[in-house]
Amino acid sequence: MTETTELQELVGRQYQHGFVTDIESETVPPGLDEDVVRLISRKKGEPDFLLQWRLKALRHWFTLREPHWAHAQYPAIDYQSISYYSAPKVKTDGPKSLEDVDPKLLETYAKLGVPLHERARLAGVAVDAVFDSVSVATTFKERLSAAGVIFCSFSDAVRNHPALIEQYLGSVVPVADNFYAALNSAVFTDGSFVYVPKGVRCPMELSTYFRINAANTGQFERTLIIADADSHVSYLEGCTAPMRDENQLHAAVVELVALDNAFIKYSTVQNWYPGDERGVGGIYNFVTKRGECRGRASHISWTQVETGSAITWKYPSCVLRGEGSIGEFYSVATVNNYQQADTGTKMIHIGKDTRSTIVSKGISAGHGQNSYRGLVKILPSAHGARNFTQCDSLLMGGSCGAHTFPYIEVKNPTATVEHEASTSKISEDQLFYCQQRGIATEDAVNMIVSGFCKSVFKELPMEFAVEAQNLLAVSLEGAVG
Amino acid sequence: MLIVEDLHVAVGTTQVLKGLNLTVPTGEVHAIMGPNGSGKSTLSYVLAGRPGYTVTAGKVSFDGQDLLVLAPEERARSGLFLGFQYPVEIPGVNNVYLLKAALNAARRQRGLPEVDAFEFLGLVREKMKLMQMPETFLSRGVNEGFSGGEKKRNEILQMLVLEPRLAILDETDSGLDIDALKVVATGVNSLRGADRSFVLVTHYQRLLDHIVPDKVHVLAGGRILRSGDYTLAHELERRGYDWVVSEAA
C-alpha cells in the first residue's frame, strides 16, 4: 500500500468522540426577539443595566448581516430556529455513578488524560454524589478568596459584583463589535468571571474545570477576566469533551483586561464535535476573544489548540494600548475530514514600544481547509513597536488545503514587523524513516505533528500540554496509520 | 541470515532489479559495489520495505521468515536496520526521543521490558562517546540542522543503540571526510560479531579499507554480476566496473 493511501485511511478514520448524551433540559421555544432577551434576563434575576445592555445589543444585531468573509462555506443559519435558553434539569436526572456510564465514553476520557472527577462530570454524573469534589472545590475557593481573587460564574458575578461588571463588560468587545459578539451580548446565559486584585499573583491555575457549579454554560458563554495592576493570572479553558449541545452554533465572547504590569495567560484546548467523516453535523464555533493591555508594561498571552468544530472562526486578539505592553498568540489549529478553520489573531499596537509575537501552526488533513488570518496594525502613536509573526502549515494527504491571509498595516515608520511563513507536507521520507526505526505509522505521525507544534505546546501549562498532545493524536487518529 | 532469490523489483514502470541473488550468512560483512543507477539503493529500500518499490518476482528470507510480507516497522523490530544515504530531518522531534521509542519498540517485540529514561541516557552517552558526538546531540531535533557528516554519524549511533541482527548501510561513506569515515568505521567494527551481519552499499573501496568485508559483490544492471573476496574491491578500484559488465555480457 502506498503511504498516500495510508494517509487517506488514517484521515478517514472515525471521530472517536462522536457519542450522544441525552440530557434533559428546560428549553424555551426557538426564536429571538426582545421578549426572549427579557426572559433570559428575568430568569437570571439581572439588574436593569444589564437588561438594557442586552437590548441595545439585540437592537444593533437586528441591523447586522451575517458575515461571510471567512474562508469557509456553510449554508446560512436560521437564527429564528434556534432556542436561546436551555438550562439542564437537576443533576440527579443523570447517571448515578460511573458504573452507569458507557464504558466506551470513559475509555475516551481516559485516553485524553481527563482527570477522574472531570470524566464523571463530563459524562453527566451527579459528581457530588460520587466523589468528594465539593470539598475539593471548596478548598480552591478558600485559597482563592484568601488571596482576594474572585473566580465565579458570570451569573454569580452579576449578583455579587455588579459594579465590576458594569465597569468592564463590553469595554474590550463592545456590543456593536461584530455580528456574533452582538448576538452573544444579547443572549449570553453564563460564563466565567475572574478578578485578580492589585499586586496579587493568583495562587493556582484557574480553569473552568474547578468551577464545577457552572459547568453547563451553554453555547453563548461570556467570559470576563480583569487583572488589576501588578497581578498575574493563568486561565485554562478546556473544551476537551465531546459536545452534547443540541444546537450547532457556539458564539462565545471572552474579554480580558490587563492593567499596569499585569499578566494574563489564557490557554484554550478546543475539541467541540467536528462533524462526521462526510462533514455532516458539528459545531459552528464563532467566537470573539480579545484582550486589552490597558496598563503600561502589561502582558497578555493567548495559547490555543483548536482540534474540534465543523467551522472555527476566531481571532484571539490583543489591543496594546499601554506603553511597553506585550501581546502574544500561540496557536495550533487542526482540521480533518470536512472541518474548516479560519483563525488567527489581531495585534493592534497603539502604545509606544509595544511588542507582539504570533506563532501559528496549522495542520490540515482529509478534506479540511485551514486558514490563518492575522492582522498586525501599528498605529501612528506606536513608536518603536515590534512584531514577529511565524506562520507554518502542515498538510497531510492531497485533498486538504492551507491558506494564509496576513494583513499588515504600519502607520509608524519606527516600527519593525517581521513575517515568516512556510507550508510543508508530512513527507513519506519522514514516515518511512520512523517506520524503519520500528515505529508504527500512527505513532510516527503523532511524533512528527507534535514536533511541528512544539513551539506552541511549550507555551501551555504542563498538564495541558500533555492533554493537547493526546488530543491532537486522537483528532488525527485515522489520519495516518 | 539473509537469502535473496531471483529478486525482480520495479519502480513505477521501470524494472530496476532483474533477478538478483544474494546470500549473507550470519556473522559476515558483505559489500555491494556498483556503478550509479545499478540498483544498489533500490536493493536497500526494498529490503527495508519502502513503499513505491514493487516486487514483481522472487523472494527474500530473513532469519528464516518471509521478509516481504512484513510491514517496514515489523522488519525493523525483527532486527533489520537501514542506515540511510540521505537521513531526513524531522523538525521539533527530539533525536533521543525518537531513538528511545525505536529501542523500546524493538524490545517489546523481543519480550523485553522497556528501558527507562535513566538507563537509556546512560546507554546513549556511552555510544555517543564512541561516535565522538557532543552532548548537544541529545537535545537537538532529528537530523535538524545537522551537517552531512553529523547525519551519518547519527545513523551509526542509532545502529549502535538498536543492535540490529542485520544492518544495511546505504552509502554511509559518501560525503564523509577521512576522520569522520574512521569514526563511522570504528562504530561499525565495534558491533561486528558472530550473530550479526552487515550489508555495506558503497561506490568506493575506501570504506572497505576500514571495514574489511568477508565478501564483495558487484551489482550492475539489476543483478549481481560477480562476487569475490576483499581483493575484488581493489581490482574494481583499479579497473572500474566496465570490465565486469562486459565479461558478464
Distance of CA A75 to the CA centre of its chain: 23
B156 interfacial to chain A (CB closer than 8 Å): no
The residues in A 3-22 lying below 8 A from B, measured between CB atoms, are 3
CB contact under 8 A, B90 and A439: no
CB contact under 8 A, A432 and B106: no
Model pLDDT for residues A264-283, shown as the tens digit of each residue = 999 988 777 777 777 677 77
- Beta-bridged to residue A446, according to DSSP, are none
Structural contact between residues A264 and A235, judged by C-beta atoms closer than 8 angstroms: yes
CB contact under 8 A, A437 and B99: yes
Whether the pLDDT of residue A134 is over 50: the answer is no
Whether the pLDDT of residue B15 is over 90: the answer is yes
Half-sphere exposure of B64 (CA within 13 A, CB side): 0
**Mean pLDDT of all residues belonging to chain B:** 93
Q: What is the pLDDT of residue A107?
A: 62
CB nearest A437 (choices: B71, B102, B109): B102
Distance from CA of B118 to the nearest CA of A (A): 21
Rg of chain A over all Cα atoms, to the nearest angstrom: 22
B117 interfacial to chain A (CB closer than 8 Å): no
Name the band, by pLDDT with cuts 50, 70 and 90, for residue A124: very low
Interface test with B, best of A422, A430, A435, A436 (most B CBs within 10 A): A436
CB contact under 8 A, A451 and B52: no
Name the band, by pLDDT with cuts 50, 70 and 90, for residue A169: very high
Q: In this structure, which long-range contacts are made by residues B222-226, counting pairs with CB atoms below 8 Å and at least 24 apart in sequence?
A: B222/B15, B222/B16, B222/B17, B222/B18, B222/B19, B222/B20, B222/B38, B222/B39, B223/B17, B223/B18, B223/B19, B223/B20, B223/B21, B224/B20, B224/B21, B224/B22, B224/B32
Q: What is the pLDDT of residue B192?
A: 95
∠ Cα A453 A454 A457 (to 5°): 85
B106 interfacial to chain A (CB closer than 8 Å): yes
Distance from CA of B96 to the nearest CA of A (A): 12
Over residues A100-126, mean pLDDT = 55
Name the band, by pLDDT with cuts 50, 70 and 90, for residue A96: low
Which DSSP category does A77 fall into? Answer: P
Q: What is the pLDDT of residue B228?
A: 94
Task: Using an 8 Å CB-CB cutoff, list chain A residues near B82.
Answer: 436
Higher pLDDT, A356 or A340: A356
CB contact under 8 A, B51 and A2: yes
Give the strand pairing for A191-196 and A150-153.
Answer: antiparallel
Model pLDDT for residues B97-112, shown as the tens digit of each residue = 899 999 999 999 989 9
**Going along A82-189, which residue ranges are E strands?**
86-88, 150-153
Interface test with A, best of B54, B90, B169 (most A CBs within 10 A): B90
Q: Residue A481 corresponds to which cell in the numbers above? A: 496509520
Distance from CA of B74 to the nearest CA of A (A): 6
* Cβ atoms within 10 Å of B120's Cβ, excluding its own: 17
CB nearest A447 (choices: B75, B84, B98): B98
Counted across chains A and B, CB pairs separated by less than 8 A come out at: 82
Structural contact between residues B163 and B195, judged by C-beta atoms closer than 8 angstroms: no
Structural contact between residues B159 and B185, judged by C-beta atoms closer than 8 angstroms: no
CB nearest B90 (choices: A428, A443, A451): A451
Percent of residues in chain A assigned helix, strand, coil, to nearest 5: 30, 30, 40
CB nearest A452 (choices: B71, B82, B92): B92
Model pLDDT for residues B154-198, shown as the tens digit of each residue = 999 999 999 999 999 999 988 888 888 999 999 999 999 999 999
> Phi and psi (nearest 5°) for B58?
95, 175
Nearest residue of B to residue A438, measured between CA atoms: B73
Nearest residue of B to residue A458, measured between CA atoms: B92
Of all residues in chain B, the percent with pLDDT exceeding 70 is: 100
Whether the pLDDT of residue A3 is over 80: the answer is no
Nearest residue of B to residue A2, measured between CA atoms: B51
B90 interfacial to chain A (CB closer than 8 Å): yes
Distance of CA B213 to the CA centre of its chain: 14
Q: What is the pLDDT of residue B225?
A: 93
Structural contact between residues B185 and B31, judged by C-beta atoms closer than 8 angstroms: no
Nearest residue of A to residue B78, measured between CA atoms: A438
Structural contact between residues A341 and A311, judged by C-beta atoms closer than 8 angstroms: yes
Nearest residue of B to residue A442, measured between CA atoms: B73
